[in-house]
Chains A and B, each alone.
Chain A
Amino acid sequence: MDLNTLWFILIAVLYIGFFVLEGFDFGVGMLLPFLGKDDTQRRMVINTIGPHWDGNEVWLLTAGGATFAAFPEWYATMFSGFYLPLFLLLAALIFRGVAFEFRSKDDNPKWRNFWDWTIFAGSLVAALLLGVAFANLVHGVPIDAEKNYVGGFFNLLNPYALLGGVSTIVVFLLHGALFLSMKTTGELAERAKNTARRLWLPVVVILIVFLVATYFATDLLARLGVNPGLIPLVGIVALVLVGYFLRKARLGWAFAMTSVAIAFALMTMFRILYPRVMISSLNPDWSLTIYNASSSPYTLTVMTVVALIFVPIVLIYQGWSYWVFRKRIESKSDALTY
């Protein structure tokens, strides 16, 4: 395996980490105003992700930085090409990020309500746009011979991409509901579990529709044949198993299954891309690949050494931070931080 492939995999891993981790805190954010029926419950909801959401978001920042370092042309084409959606994504992440911090700092109900809905909207818009962006990556976008994106804003809002956005939202909702049911107690945990039960079937249906649509919207069929291979099937099976574990009230397992489903859905997308990183819908030869978009072998070598040393360290301490906060959040308001 060459370094270009290694970095393609590493960036895929970073995005998978981001979707699995920030996925549940986006879901929790979207569910916040609906599942938290009073201020204590809303505080409980926020406290489940309080110690983690910022660290989770760094997976996206690191994925962006790694893309810049390893594939500068990919970074340049994608970030300038998806300009307005990315601006909206940034606006959503900015508002959502400060909302967690600001909400608890004033007890005026209007103030708190405003930031609760900000968290909701920020999570929703971010999830939608991430889904739209990834669907567009596998669908292909107009890129010319000079590696420039030549489509407009509305090219990115095609039906397939919007379906990708909706799929991302509903998966994150299920993922977040399961996380809440696992991390809270009492009435709130019960409500989160019921929400997950109600969401499960629609999510399975939407995801299967999205997978089928992927056959038509991408070159998956031409490249890999009718049999989608093991990866997407594992994703679908995991999603089906969520329903089984929910019925058995094995919430930890159910949450693990949504994590697997999200990870395998993204693996499918990266499998479709490889060895391309951005597909040109104008001419296959104009696609950006892990070779024509990459950094020099020297830079890739340097970055490989850095990544091999520090990625394991990050995984260890971030994992440890989840272990520190492994307990469920009680509904005793004076024990809540936020």
Chain B
Amino acid sequence: MAVLFLSRLQFAATTVYHFFFVPLTLGLSLLVALMETLYVRSGNEVYKRMTKFWGKLFVINFAMGVVTGIVQEFQFGMNWSEYSRYVGDIFGAPLAIEALLAFFLESTFLGVWLFGWDKLSKGAHAAAFWLVAIGSNISALWILIANSFMQQPLGYVIENGRAQMTSFFEVIFNPNIFYMFPHVFFSGLVTASFFVIGISAYHLLRKNEVDLFRRSIQQAVVFAAISTVVVAINGHSQAQHMVEMQPMKMAAAEALWETEEPASFSLITVGSLNGDSEVFSLRIPRLLCLMAYNQFECKIKGMNELQAEFEALSGPGDYTPPPVIIYWTFRVMVGLGFLMIGLALYALFLMMGDMLPTRPLALKILQWALLLPYLANTAGWLLTEVGRFPWVVYGLVALEDGVSTTVSAGMVAVSLIGYVLIYGVLMAATVYLLMKYAKAGPAPVHETIPAGEELPSLVGAQD
């Protein structure tokens, strides 16, 4: 049991950490590609400097996404070997395809882009970055196809004591992917646009490179306004899909212990300490019906009834994910989502009147809003993954049947502590570098070498 607990903890820790970097990569790759395209089209040097400035921040973040991504690919086999044996026939394919289609593309062309400023034509150089952006987002698509199978297994049959693929098309066109991929894609754009807005706000407050940061913030505000709204609309349909496919996740997200008809939405619910009953709850009648089915009449099953149903179907056991985690991650994600819609629309309103650069309070708020997508992304990911409890593959493979049998608790403890230490050190270095470069601003016009990369002759020899 200790092995299972530590393995879950390690998977959660490494995945959440990996996902700090991924959304920014997905979204910022597109924003930077657009900046460079504007440079190619207009020939305006300011877009080149924008590309270089945001590109540098992109690359620092990208490196972290890449190296933590290797861990992700390896730990299915390392920590979840029984899972890998049981569903590898289906699950391995999207992972291999991800590496072949996406990893090669993004890493090769990022190398070309970084080192090829004077080796390629302007257009080819911008195209290289588009390929990085496409590669990154294709990578998200394939890993989410793999994850969709875990959420809603389709396109397989149980044969020879394991799950075997019967239809590749059912696997890649899993209904989940039509909700998950847009959600992640536009969350990436939200993350990137708030990142650009936040750092631009910092510089506009200081009247630093006003032209460059005004253009940056304008582009980002438009993306923020569109993508925050799209994420919310898409999240709404995703939740409706979830009610059908994973009713337990919705019941836990609403702290709904008893079945309700019509179902109410919880404003605030306090559960008992052991999490199996309600102590106090403030609820809005019928709102949950509106959210789940777009109507005022509905019946939503509570956790207790669903638990009984699962027991009848799959035998005795605990089928209820921890309501506290599900309830609060859902609220943090949705609450921050609405907050970001408000901020983005407000910024859009100010921008259309060209008032944004002159509103210090708004800029100060927007500067700190940079952190919001990170919280929302983490909460959303925890909701999706913890809400799948107690399954690795929903309804098919239980957590305890997926974990490696030959790996001891001591070994997992060693690697878990190792990851925490390594990731801690690297987080410190990454935040240090990102802040340093974000604050330093773009390189001066007359030279191409950014601050911090002075000629080595100034540094002196070192052995």
Which residues of A come within 8 Å of B, CB atoms? 37-40, 43, 47, 50-55, 57-58, 61-62, 64-70, 72-73, 75-81, 83-84, 86-87, 90-91, 93-95, 97-98, 100-102, 104-107, 109, 112-113, 147-150, 153, 295-296, 298-299, 302-303, 306-307, 310-311, 314, 317-318, 321, 324-325, 333-334, 337
Contacts and interface: CB of A to CB of B under 8 A. Distances in A.
Given A72-B89, A324-B120, A106 B74 contact: no
A17 to B, nearest CB: 11
27 contacts: A47-B115, A54-B107, A54-B108, A58-B99, A58-B103, A62-B100, A67-B92, A68-B84, A68-B91, A73-B88, A76-B82, A80-B407, A93-B67, A94-B71, A97-B63, A97-B67, A100-B63, A105-B437, A106-B436, A112-B462, A149-B406, A298-B165, A314-B104, A317-B105, A318-B108, A333-B455, A333-B457
Interface in B116-162: 116-117, 119-120, 159
A324 B60 contact: no
Contacts of B307: none
Given A83-B415, A84-B414, A109-B462, A302 B93 contact: yes
B232 interface: no
Closest 5 CB pairs of A and B: A72-B88, A79-B77, A69-B92, A68-B92, A51-B111
A321 B107 CA distance: 11
Chain A contact residues, majority secondary structure: helix
A64 B74 contact: yes
Given A87-B414, A324-B120, A69 B95 contact: yes
Interface string B393-433: 00000000000111100010011001000100010011001
A47 B116 CA distance: 12
B77 A76 contact: yes
Interface residues of B, number: 80
A104 B414 CA distance: 31
Contacts of B98: 65
A37 B81 CA distance: 46
B104 A72 contact: no
Nearest to A306: B97
B456 interface: yes
A97 B95 CA distance: 21
A73 B162 CA distance: 11
B454 interface: yes
Given A66-B96, A79-B81, 14 more contacts: A40-B457, A54-B111, A65-B97, A68-B92, A69-B88, A69-B93, A79-B77, A83-B78, A94-B70, A98-B64, A296-B165, A298-B165, A321-B109, A321-B112
B89 to A, nearest CB: 5
A62 B111 contact: no
B452 interface: yes
Nearest to A116: B462
B73 interface: yes
A87 B164 CA distance: 29
B205 to A, nearest CB: 24
B168 interface: yes
Contact of B422 (A68, A94, A311): A94
B459 interface: yes
Contacts of A68: 76-77, 84, 88, 91-92, 95-96
B399 to A, nearest CB: 16
A51 B116 contact: yes
A7 B178 CA distance: 31
Contacts of B91: 68
Contacts of B59: 101
B166 interface: yes
Contact of A39 (B93, B164, B462): B462
B101 interface: yes
B343 interface: no
Contacts of B82: 76
Contact of A295 (B88, B414, B457): B88
Given A87-B418, A93-B67, A97-B67, A79 B78 contact: yes
Interface in B441-463: 449, 452-463
A292 to B, nearest CB: 11
A315 to B, nearest CB: 10
